[in-house]
Structure 1
Amino acid sequence: MGICRGRKRPPLLLLLVLFLSLPLFLSVSRLYQNPPIQVELERSRPKKSDHLILGPAAGQGLPNRLQCQGLKAINKLHSLKSDQDIQIGDKVSFVIVYTIYNNSYGSHSARMDDKLSDIATVGSNFYNKFERSMAILNVFIDFIQVSMPNSNVILLTDPSSKFTMRRSQATTLAIPGDYSRGNLMLQRIKSYIVDGCVEPGEAFVGNWELTSFCSSACFLLLKIEAFLETQIQEHPKSSKSSSHYIFTDSDIAVVDDLRHIFHKYPDFHVGLTFRNNKNQPLNSGFIAVRGTPDGLHKAKFFLEEVANTYSSKFMQASRMLGDQLALAWVVKSHLLSSVKKFNRHEAFSGELNGVSVLFLPCAVYNWTPPEGAGQFHGMPLDVQVVHFKGSRKRLMLEAWNFYNSTSNLPSMLCLILKSGRTKYDF
């Protein structure tokens, strides 16, 4: 006689195993949705602000530092120019390198395809990546016109450049070369020391993708040679006056008249800015060249050695920092005694293979607001140039907007000082 039995219940042990395994299944599911590398990148990615953030002004109470009360400067800046400098006939031209990789930068379809994350807002203006770089370039020229209204900007660019922006203070020098990202830093040096051509009276033609700002420093170095060779050929030997040159990045604000450099230090051929940094004591974002025939020849000779050193020793850093490593190597090879002076704040000179090199402190001629944590002793009262490296470019646009509305330079510097430690979204 058969016995009817009900459905067997799962053993209690099996239920317990399933219960304990559930967290493991959930963890695996999360891993598939967010791979470990992606999760780690999200955790390590620094958070950047999309608006101006004011904090305490560093350096308060320290001598020879800008003192601020809110956004008002309560002590006077020390201008380094003299009455003699103001009356001089020599001019100073600023030279930068500018290129872009996105050929559809200005098209309607390109603007429509911009990701929302790539759009930045500064004040009432909206910028995509290209528009941000153009805004930075415009502000660069604006600051020069305020501090040195008789100076002009010379743009070294790829001959295939098709993008125009007209400014009466800027002209174009088209120089052939390899403008690829991997060669950008080296090309900058070569463009300074190789032959080029410029159409008289040609309007400014400029382009530069924002993401290449980090590489731009080295790009500038490869380009000085071309420019200097052109100036050597065209320099009128009978002329008593000179047009001196300062090769810079475009993310700087000139806040005082820099002509005094060429009169206060009358014997140098090349001027470099230094800082107390063991591996990168020299910054290529500011290079002064005396515009005399001798100065042009000596500067070309010096930068040729830097370019050769770059090519033979530092191409592994071709996308970033290679130019600064090459500059430091050349200087240390010929002028080792200068290394001990990099921890000071006074200008000094040295002779390198017949080239007189002037070393100027970054604290004055290439001051950068510290970003994030770290030691920060404020802004020197005699600051001449502010360099908005990295994500500080938002701060550069904000600073110009503030100055444009107030016409108060010291207060604008207080804005920079109180905002310089924030990581912005540029």
Structure 2
Amino acid sequence: MRSCIGWRRLLFLTPLVFIVLHLLSVSELHRDASRDDLPNKRNKKFDHLVIGPAAGQGLPNRLQCQGTKALNKTHLPSSNLSYKGDSVAFVTVFTVYNTSLDSHPDGRSVNLIKVGNASYSKTERSMAILNVFINFIQKSMPQSNVIILTDPASDLSIRRNRVTVMPIKGEYSRDKLMLQRIRSYITFLEMKLEEHSKRQEHITNYIFSDSDISVVDDLGQIFYKYPNFHLALTFRNNKDQPLNSGFIAIRGTPDGILRAKNFLQEVLRAYTSKYMTASRMLGDQLALTWVVKSNPSFDGKRFTKPEPFLDEIAGASVLFLPCAKYNWTPPEGAGQFHGMPLDVKVVHFKGSRKRLMLESWNFFNSTSNISDMLCLILKSGRTKYDF
């Protein structure tokens, strides 16, 4: 009898269970639909600066900000004194692509982006970024030269003091630009070796960099402070991509140039044999990491601590410098979620941060205060902009 009563209760409750589950599923469906209707804030891009909280508040040795006013200074007066040793030249690869896409058939410009009081087409934006790159170098290191390696077919015209445009033959298409960059670096170093062999050249140290970086302090001291390296790379605490190729320092002695050239040739071989599927992006960084980690004695755990260290890699003495100081990126890269170090030397405006680079220069022009400008960068660094 008890068994029959139990079955009757089960039969009575079963429809109720199905009704409840159905109502819950419909409710969840409506909730998901309403989520889809909401704007995706993570992917939304802005056409203006959006100031947010500054990471690193209260942490020692980090920039502290109140609005866009710095509460502590990033550079002591002594650190702004130019290093009096060998000269330094910055080398970057830059080319101009088809500008016809910037204009409508009737001659009107299309896809204009406004930054401050200026409006830019796609090509004009690239040139503006290149000019700001030069501006920061000439402000922080006024005795330095800038060398732009470019496609001979590129219509690149830039007339500025201490700036040289150097055409180097190669494949500069968008899909092969990162690969060509390494080849252009190698060709440049071969040219410098040949110059040294013909006559005694004055020593010039080189910093190969992306053109979307801002140098905010004198980098010549690297070559004085660390006298035993041939080339220097920047690293971050990232398991898959610990090295960033946007900053490579090379000692300008014949031995330093030769060993750096040979090292980059190893990177090029790894690139072309292993990472051509990533030729548009990241291939150079993956190849760089492969060459470094292929050294049997190399300890990858050293990437977890933001402290400089030396190692022998592929016949060269390689200095590893922390990105947190020499290649700080908002908001990517190691260290940024802990704020901006007070002794930051280089800010790298990767990806969609190009607007922030232009805006930061405009802000610096209006304030002449590097610390306040860095507050602007720090507090704007987590927003996606339009280019």
When normalised by structure 1's length, the TM-score is 0.77
Secondary structure class of the residue paired with 1:382: coil
8 A contact 2:82–2:141 mirrored in 1: no
Displacement after TM superposition at 1:104 (Å)? 3.2
Structure 1 counterpart of 2:8: none
Mapping of 1:24-423 within 5 angstroms? 46-78=43-75, 86=82, 88-104=84-100, 109=105, 112=108, 114=110, 118-191=111-184, 224-235=185-196, 239=200, 241-334=202-295, 336-370=297-331, 376-423=337-384
Measured against aligned partners, the alpha-carbon deviations of 1:368-406 in whole angstroms (never above 9, x if no partner) come to 01169x971110001000000111110001100000011
8 A contact 1:76–1:381 mirrored in 2: yes
Displacement after TM superposition at 1:353 (Å)? 3.1
The 4+ residue runs of structure 1 with deviation greater than 6 A are 42-45, 105-108
Measured against aligned partners, the alpha-carbon deviations of 1:338-366 in whole angstroms (never above 9, x if no partner) come to 31100101100000132100000000000
Alignment partners' CA distance in 1, 2:275 and 2:332: 27
Aligned-partner residue type, residue 56 of structure 1: P
8 A contact 2:88–2:206 mirrored in 1: yes
8 A contact 2:243–2:288 mirrored in 1: yes
Displacement after TM superposition at 1:99 (Å)? 1.2
Displacement after TM superposition at 1:181 (Å)? 2.3
Q: Percent identity?
A: 65
Aligned-partner residue type, residue 125 of structure 1: A
Aligned-partner residue type, residue 96 of structure 1: T
Change in Cα spacing, 1:339 to 1:100, as seen in structure 2 (3 Å) is same
Change in Cα spacing, 1:355 to 1:371, as seen in structure 2 (3 Å) is closer
Aligned-partner residue type, residue 187 of structure 1: Q
Displacement after TM superposition at 1:94 (Å)? 0.5
Alignment partners' CA distance in 2, 1:82 and 1:113: 44
Alignment partners' CA distance in 2, 1:254 and 1:386: 7
8 A contact 1:252–1:388 mirrored in 2: yes
- The more displaced of 130-139 and 87-96 is 87-96
Change in Cα spacing, 1:260 to 1:87, as seen in structure 2 (3 Å) is closer
When normalised by structure 2's length, the TM-score is 0.85
Change in Cα spacing, 1:362 to 1:261, as seen in structure 2 (3 Å) is same
Q: How large is the Cα RMSD of the aligned pairs?
A: 2.5
8 A contact 2:216–2:347 mirrored in 1: yes
Displacement after TM superposition at 1:109 (Å)? 4.9
Aligned-partner residue type, residue 266 of structure 1: P
Change in Cα spacing, 1:381 to 1:45, as seen in structure 2 (3 Å) is closer
Change in Cα spacing, 1:105 to 1:309, as seen in structure 2 (3 Å) is same
- The more displaced of 143-152 and 330-339 is 330-339
Displacement after TM superposition at 1:101 (Å)? 2.3
Alignment partners' CA distance in 1, 2:199 and 2:168: 27
Alignment partners' CA distance in 1, 2:107 and 2:52: 35
- List alignment gaps of at least 5 residues for structure 1: 1-38, 192-223
- List alignment gaps of at least 5 residues for structure 2: 1-35
